[in-house]
Structures are given as structure tokens and as C-alpha cells.
């Protein structure tokens, strides 16, 4: 099957789909209990520790791993690297579903979800959370607009799809600006927590670290998503193209490593790397496993040319990013979550995995019915659907 063909829809329930549907239904049940019986019925969060699993996994990891959309669009539309155009539509869809999943998860996490829209009317412009919320809302809409030509072409609304196609460059520019703002502002949320977060992670440069790590993980996520999608749908792998895209990852990881080490030296905290304790081990695992190892691996051309090693190296980047966000949001506070009595409730996991499962099922629906994988069209270019 070539990349320009539309996949045939299937109603067959594979073991994978049965698992995904089960997770989605379980997540919906947990969300229903939360809305009818309150937060305490599904979560172990308390007044001492209110940044639970949902913040670390759904918000911090979800937003960062959806960064592949803005990095890929920037590479293609702003830097003019047309060879990467086949990667744009799947990346934009992944980004859109990622941000949508974040919003749905936050509707469960927020104490009064029916008032989430209040921040648009009653604006606290001094709050980084306001900036994050506004940018995430706006950027989710921008991602929909970037992908909408594919959707409209599938519906047969060719004129509307062509109209949005004409706006692709402004949407990409707006999306890049919004992503830069809120990826960094997520780091700003933790600046005020110097008395809570371990100094190995707390730094005045958290905003910069959040942005650089998200942009790097975004490229790795494109490799990860594309490799799995092409394997699942029996399509020819794009390993040469993905390997070429991955050439930028070692440089970005090198920049991130340099910034982190330089900051520790500048702050006088470099000695903390050698002090005994679990936090030191967490930091070394994060840096060696999620930064140094993939940086070395992806700098080797032979690694980038082979699908399995390219995939594994990109997976290390993604896992390193996730471990970093969990370290900052959950694991390395000076009074760790478990010391406050907080251990995630099983229904917290149910909600998170249910949201992820739902996003995967929607991706599968789009992949099988719309013109998602094609060499001739970008995210804002629809192409005609072939039955």
C-alpha cells in the first residue's frame, strides 16, 4: 500500500481495539462517578497535595508530547523543508487529539469544571495559569483549523476545505507562537514553588527547559507515531525521512543538556548530583536515560537508518520527557506526594488511560476513513477521499 491510498474502513474488533474500548468505557464510568459523587470518590488528592497524577500525566506530559504538531509545521511551512510534508497531517492530528485529551482530562480534574470558561470572561492576566489555559484553548482551535481541510474534504465540502487551506500559513504562525508561549508557561507554574521542588529541578530557567524539551520530544513523537501508524496500517515505512528528521534531535538534546548542567553550575547546585538519595538517582536516570543515551544513539547514522533502533532511540526521548515532567510535578517535591498520604486512586489511572484510549480510537477512525497518509498534501490540504 502506498502512502497516497486511503485505508479501507473495518468493523473487526481486534484484541487491541477491545482493550482500547474497555479502557475508554472504564474511564467514562470513573468520570461519571466523579461528576455525580465528587472528586473524593475517584481521587486520593488532598488539601496538602493537590497536584496529582492528572496534572503530571495528562497536562504536563500530554501538552509536551503533542508538540510534534507545531515542530513539524514549523519545519515544513516556515523553514520550507517540503520533503517532510508527508509527516504533517498525522502530526497535526496527533497534536489536536493530544490537546483535546488534555482538555477532557482537566474537565475531570478541575473542581468546578462548569466554570472553566470563566477565565475567558474574568481574566487574571497576572496568572501563568490563565496564559496556559487561554493558549491551550486557542491552540486546540488552531490545530482543528489546520486539520479541517482533511475533514471537510471527507464530508465533500470542498469549497470550505479550500478556504481553510488558503489560511494555512497564518494558522501555522499563530500555532507556533501559541505553542512557544504555553509550553514555556507550564514551566512558569512551578517557579513559585521553590520551597517545594527539589533544587535539582527548580530553576529560574524552567520556562526555557520546558520549551526546549517539549520541542525535542515533539520530533521524537513524530517518529514514534509515524512508525507505529505505518506498521498498524500495513504501509511502507518512512524510515529514511524519519531518520533525516531525527538528525536534529541530538543537537536539541545537546542544547538541553548544556543548559541543565550550566544552570546547576551557575546556581551552585552542581554538588547535588553526587549527594546520596533517591532524588539524585531520579535525576541521573532522567539525564542519562532520556537525554545522554538517545543523544549519542541518534548521532550515529546507522542507528537512524534502521527502523527498530530509530524507534527505540525516539522512545527514550519520550520516556525521558515524561520522567522529567513526573519528577517536577509529582515525585521530587521536598515533601513527596506519598508523605502527604497521596497515592493515586485506581480511578485516576482509569480516567487518564480512558482519555488516551479514546484519542487512539479517534486517530484510527480518521486514519481508516480520511486522506491522512499522503505524499501530496499537507495538514491544511485535503485531497479527495477515495472510497
Assign 3-class secondary structure to the chain.
CCCCCCCCCCCCCCHHHHHHHHHHHHHHHHHHHHHHHCHHHCCCCCCCCCCCHHHHHHHHHHHHHCCHHHHHHHHHHHCCCHHHHHHHHHHHHHHHHHHHHHHHHHHHHCCCHHHCCHHHHCCCCCCHHHHHHHHHHHHHHHHHHHHHHHHHHHHCCHHHHHHHHHCHHHHHHHHHHHHHHHHHHHHHCCHHHCCCECCCCCCCCHHHHHHHHHHHHHHHHHHHHHHHHHHHCCCCCCHHHHHHHCCHHHHHHHHHHHHHHHHHHHHCCHHHHHCCCHHHHHHHHHHHHHHHHHHHHHCCHHHHHCHHHHHHHHHHHHHHHHHHHHHHHHHCECCCHHHHCCCCCHHHHHHHHHHHHHHHHHHHHHHHHCCCCCCCCCCCCCCCCCC
- The answer to whether residue 377 is domain-embedded is no
290-342 pLDDT, tens digit each: 999 999 999 999 999 999 999 999 999 999 999 999 999 888 887 766 677 78
Report yes or no: 44 and 341 within 8 Å, Cβ to Cβ: yes
> What phi, psi does 38 have (nearest 5°)?
95, 170
CA angle 312, 314, 317 (to 5 degrees): 115
Q: Is 98 exposed, middle or buried (0-12, 13-18, 19+ CB in 10 A)?
A: buried
The owner of cell 534531535 is 249
**Spatial CB neighbours of 255, under 8 Å, sequence gap ≥ 6:** 212
pTM of the model: 0.88
Q: What is the pLDDT of residue 111?
A: 78
Q: For the chain, how far is it from start to end, CA to CA, in angstroms?
A: 15
- The answer to whether residue 4 is domain-embedded is no
| Closest among 83, 43, 90 to 68, alpha carbons compared | 90
Length of the chain equals: 387
Q: What is the pLDDT of residue 195?
A: 81
**Spatial CB neighbours of 185, under 8 Å, sequence gap ≥ 6:** 128, 131, 132, 135, 207
- The answer to whether residue 236 is domain-embedded is yes
Task: Provide the domain limits for residue 228.
Answer: 15-31+50-368
- The answer to whether residue 2 is domain-embedded is no
369 Cα distance to chain centroid: 24
Q: What is the pLDDT of residue 2?
A: 40
> What phi, psi does 300 have (nearest 5°)?
-95, 120
Report yes or no: 212 and 259 within 8 Å, Cβ to Cβ: yes
What radius of gyration do the chain's Cα atoms show? 21
- The answer to whether residue 36 is domain-embedded is no
- Alpha-carbon distance of 372 to 358, in angstroms, equals 18
Q: What is the pLDDT of residue 7?
A: 58
Q: What is the pLDDT of residue 11?
A: 59
pLDDT in 10s for each residue of the chain, 387 residues: 444 445 555 657 788 899 999 999 999 999 999 999 988 899 888 777 767 888 889 889 999 998 888 899 888 888 888 898 889 999 999 999 999 999 999 899 887 888 888 888 888 888 878 888 888 888 888 888 888 888 888 888 888 878 887 777 887 888 878 888 878 888 888 888 888 888 999 999 999 999 999 999 999 999 999 999 988 888 887 889 999 999 999 999 999 999 999 999 999 999 999 988 889 999 999 999 999 999 999 999 999 999 999 999 999 999 999 999 999 988 888 776 667 778 889 999 999 999 999 999 999 999 988 888 865 433 334 443 333
What total number of domains does the chain contain?
1
- Alpha-carbon distance of 27 to 21, in angstroms, equals 10
Q: What is the pLDDT of residue 4?
A: 44
7-61 pLDDT, tens digit each: 555 657 788 899 999 999 999 999 999 999 988 899 888 777 767 888 889 889 9
- The answer to whether residue 237 is domain-embedded is yes
- The answer to whether residue 257 is domain-embedded is yes
**CATH number assigned to the domain comprising residue 233:** 1.20.1630.10
Report yes or no: 69 and 91 within 8 Å, Cβ to Cβ: yes
Q: What is the pLDDT of residue 290?
A: 95
Q: What is the pLDDT of residue 337?
A: 67
- The answer to whether residue 199 is domain-embedded is yes
Q: What is the pLDDT of residue 382?
A: 40
- Alpha-carbon distance of 84 to 176, in angstroms, equals 17
Amino acid at each position: 500500500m502506498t502512502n497516497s491510498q486511503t485505508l479501507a474502513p473495518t468493523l473487526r474488533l481486534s484484541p487491541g481495539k477491545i482493550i482500547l474500548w474497555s479502557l475508554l468505557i472504564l474511564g467514562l464510568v470513573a468520570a461519571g462517578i466523579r461528576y455525580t459523587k465528587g472528586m473524593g470518590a475517584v481521587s486520593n488528592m488532598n488539601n496538602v497535595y493537590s497536584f496529582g497524577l492528572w496534572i503530571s500525566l495528562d497536562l504536563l506530559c500530554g501538552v509536551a508530547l503533542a508538540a510534534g504538531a507545531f515542530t513539524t509545521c514549523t519545519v515544513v511551512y516556515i523553514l520550507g523543508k517540503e520533503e517532510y510534508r508527508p509527516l504533517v497531517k498525522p502530526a497535526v492530528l496527533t497534536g489536536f487529539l493530544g490537546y483535546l485529551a488534555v482538555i477532557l482530562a482537566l474537565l475531570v480534574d478541575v473542581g468546578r469544571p462548569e466554570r472553566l470558561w470563566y477565565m475567558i470572561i474574568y481574566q487574571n492576566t497576572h496568572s501563568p495559569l490563565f496564559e496556559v489555559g487561554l493558549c491551550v484553548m486557542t491552540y486546540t482551535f488552531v490545530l482543528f483549523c489546520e486539520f479541517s481541510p482533511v475533514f471537510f474534504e471527507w464530508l465533500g465540502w470542498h469549497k470550505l476545505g479550500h478556504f481553510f487551506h488558503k489560511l494555512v500559513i497564518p494558522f501555522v504562525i499563530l500555532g507556533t507562537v501559541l505553542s512557544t508561549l504555553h509550553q514555556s508557561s507550564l514551566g512558569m507554574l512551578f517557579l513559585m514553588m521553590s520551597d517545594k521542588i527539589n533544587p535539582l529541578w527548580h530553576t529560574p530557567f524552567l520556562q526555557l527547559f520546558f520549551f526546549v524539551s517539549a520541542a525535542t520530544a515533539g520530533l521524537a513523537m513524530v517518529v514514534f507515531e509515524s512508525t507505529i501508524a505505518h506498521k498498524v496500517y500495513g504501509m511502507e515505512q518512512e524510515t529514511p525521512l524519519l531518520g533525516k528528521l531525527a538528525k536534529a534531535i541530538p543537537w536539541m538534546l545537546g542544547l538541553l543538556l548544556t543548559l541543565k548542567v550550566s544552570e546547576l553550575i551557575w546556581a551552585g547546585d552542581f554538588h547535588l548530583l553526587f549527594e546520596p538519595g533517591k532524588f539524585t538517582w531520579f535525576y541521573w536516570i532522567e539525564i542519562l536515560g532520556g537525554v545522554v543515551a538517545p543523544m549519542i544513539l541518534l548521532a550515529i547514522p546507522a542507528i537512524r537508518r534502521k527502523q527498530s533502533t530509530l524507534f527505540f532511540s525516539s522512545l527514550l526521548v519520550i520516556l525521558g520527557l515524561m520522567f522529567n515532567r513526573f519528577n517536577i510535578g509529582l515525585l521530587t517535591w521536598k515533601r513527596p506526594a506519598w508523605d502527604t498520604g497521596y497515592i493515586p486512586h485506581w480511578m485516576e489511572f482509569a480516567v487518564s488511560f480512558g482519555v488516551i484510549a479514546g484519542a487512539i480510537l479517534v486517530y484510527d477512525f480518521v486514519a481508516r476513513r480520511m486522506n491522512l497518509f499522503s505524499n501530496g498534501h499537507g495538514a491544511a490540504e485535503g485531497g479527495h477521499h477515495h472510497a
